[in-house]
Amino acid sequence: MCNTCGCNVTDGNRHLLAPAAKGNPVLGGNPAKILNGLLENNDRQARLNRARLDELGVLTINLMSSPGSGKTSLLESTIRRLDGRLRLGVIEGDLETENDADRIRALGIPAHQITTGTACHLDAHLIQGGLDRLDLGQLDILFIENVGNLVCPASFDLGHHRNVTLLSVTEGDDKPAKYPVMFRAADLMLISKTDLLPHLGEFSPERAEGCLRNLASRAPALRLSARTGEGMDDWIAWLSAEHAAYRKLLPARQTLIPRVETEGRKIHALGPEITFRPLAPAG
């Protein structure tokens, strides 16, 4: 998949492939070495991002799901439910438009939109630019709403602390079995849009959680509806507990590291049969 679609290269790391970059460790190797170099640079930037966030005590949560599972609606409901008890900020990721960031800003919350163009995920370099656009000293929790995709976002460390994966009842309840990389990376699975369950008898929350457990995941599985508020108290309780636990780690210079699935990283490595050509000089 990603060894042919080119999603490893984003506007955040494109400069690493510039021929003019002297001493660039990414260049000058075979295709697999080049892609591994990009991943290594991503991880290096992720560590810098996390150190920056830890210095200011900003718990950062990566929201992942397929398109349309209700990530932005969840954020809107969370903002209203918390009502200023925790200071929130949001980095939005989409291929195009500022639609989601505009929805968050309308609620008085700082939000920065990253448009990735063709890239189907965010990476640590893109997040670095987003951090520069927010007043991190005024935040308790930063949400990163990743690009809607059930594969690639789980393969990249952004410098965040926790992964939350949404599964809406409008999708199949076997999604965790079909997309194990994404759901193995989850620190929490949210079954969203539960207000629609009476109309979707084919979706079983129990089966969905069973598929998650079959991946040997101990991540909690919560059910909620951002529209009706059902289950939102449990989500807020989890969020508050994670924030409190994170803040207790900081005086000892400890932090939280998200799970990045090694299986997912394999799909971002090039095989020798693929021809890779670095970017030509501009002009």
What pLDDT digit, counting tens, does each position of 175-216 carry? 999 999 999 999 999 999 999 999 999 999 999 999 999 999
**Residue 220 tokens, joined:** 């909690």
Evaluate if pTM is beyond 0.75.
yes
Residue 123, number of CB atoms within 10 A of its CB = 30
Average pLDDT (72-98) is: 95
Ranges 31-35, 74-78, 191-195, 221-225: which has the least confidence: 31-35
**Could you give the percent of the chain with pLDDT greater than 70?**
78
**Could you give the percent of the chain with pLDDT greater than 90?**
71
User: Alpha carbon of 251 to those of 55, 56, 61, 248, 255: distances in Å?
Assistant: 10, 12, 20, 7, 10
What pLDDT digit, counting tens, does each position of 57-79 carry? 999 999 999 999 999 999 999 99
**215 close to 176: Cβ distance less than 8 angstroms:** yes
Q: Beta-strand (E) ranges in 116-233?
A: 141-145, 162-168, 188-192, 221-223
Q: Could you give the domains of the chain?
A: 2-266 (3.40.50.300)
Q: How many residues would you count in the chain?
A: 283
Give the phi and the psi of residue 193 in degrees, each rounded to 5.
Answer: 60, 40
